[in-house]
Structure 1
């Protein structure tokens, strides 16, 4: 499979290694220094594009690929207020799109555990809920896309919580997300239910970027030749 890498930071380089290990070829690498090489002619050399850049460039990158009929796996967060129009574009162009806040196999299993735990805890109002996420200091967004996904899953299940806030809150209807930035820290997410009697806590800790990179390549393999919008739930058959 021929793959275009859009974004060649630490994650892009980790994805490149997995692509080589799995016998695929990178036919285009785009980063800040050669952004002008993201042309229709170049992108059409790829079966799938994998996009990991920033909130400021992701939307334009994804729509450019779709306009040219190239399926996209996107791991950039912070632009998802425009996701619906991008889904519509993918449908119009009869191509495929996967957008995920986290491509790690372990994190996506963690998502399923989080949803199940929240459903079980809805009736137990004596428990207060807190999310905490820890990442390296170079991470541009806070809270992380993964933390937002976890929070929204909880809000879907816990009726007494109406919204999440990125601070410690004493308002009973607010779900607190605490963001910490320390080095080195590829990523840790805690979900904690606390009462006067006991605590229940689930934690996912990433030791390196390999799991995220592998998931992105698995997503690209899944997407080749498909039309429509998918998530990692479909990729991993969860």
Structure 2
């Protein structure tokens, strides 16, 4: 059971997502004790008496933001994507400082259900040896800095783990069903759309998530923060939702 406590929360990253998180945190009884758009110093963190930090900044600053929180024994929930090539390094740092770290490429509960459906479908395809080629399309607003999205990459990696495909890339490879092509678009006022396509000569199967409001992501991030409080280790939304 989640220990519900009114937390003193810090926000690193105060764009549209950060502002939405602030609103949801206050609605759930929490205090926002610190807000910044840059990597905070240890002194700033200590003076703010933070109980937890939510990090939604940029790919360039995410790693340094995570490290300074771990060094100062402050639990951190990270939703920034585009830095995942350093995930193993962050895991080492978390273990070194006996820290609390939760990362997810997407905090939407609906998207995390999509992750489960995606794995189930990939498993069916592998066991049945069906002749479908896989592709993933993601569409976001123009302010999203990284592409493909972390969610699209996570979907591709899960398909690969189920052994239906071997690789993913952003360049389409003709007549090769073992490679997943990820296409990206940036369009005004689109919060996030992810679609997984399985296409054969006779039909197309799709699983899709369409985000209507940022509230779903922000609420999921706050729920994750409430869950992480007083825990030690490295976690994901799968742990939060018991998936």
Do the two structures share a fold, i.e. TM-score over 0.5? yes
1:1-238 equivalences under 5 Å are: 1-32=7-38, 38-44=40-46, 45-122=49-126, 123-159=128-164, 161-170=165-174, 172=176, 173-238=178-243
Q: Deviations over 1:48-68 (max 9, x none)?
A: 100011110000000000000
In structure 2, stretches of 5+ residues that fail to align are: 1-6
Q: Deviations over 1:184-221 (max 9, x none)?
A: 11000001111122221111000011111011111110
Q: Deviations over 1:46-100 (max 9, x none)?
A: 1110001111000000000000000110011111111112112222222210011
Q: TM-score, normalised by structure 1?
A: 0.94
Residues 200 and 218 (structure 1), Cα distance of their counterparts in 2 relative to 1, 3 Å cut: same
Q: TM-score, normalised by structure 2?
A: 0.92
Q: What's the secondary structure of 1:201's corresponding residue?
A: strand
Aligned equivalents of 2:197, 2:119: Cα separation in 1: 13
Which deviates more, 54-63 or 163-172? 163-172
**Contact residue 72 and residue 96 of structure 1 kept, 8 A:** yes
**Contact residue 134 and residue 179 of structure 2 kept, 8 A:** no
Q: State the superposition RMSD in angstroms.
A: 1.2
C-alpha displacement of 1:171: 5.0
Name the count of aligned residue pairs: 233
Aligned equivalents of 1:155, 1:92: Cα separation in 2: 30
In structure 1, stretches of 5+ residues that fail to align are: none
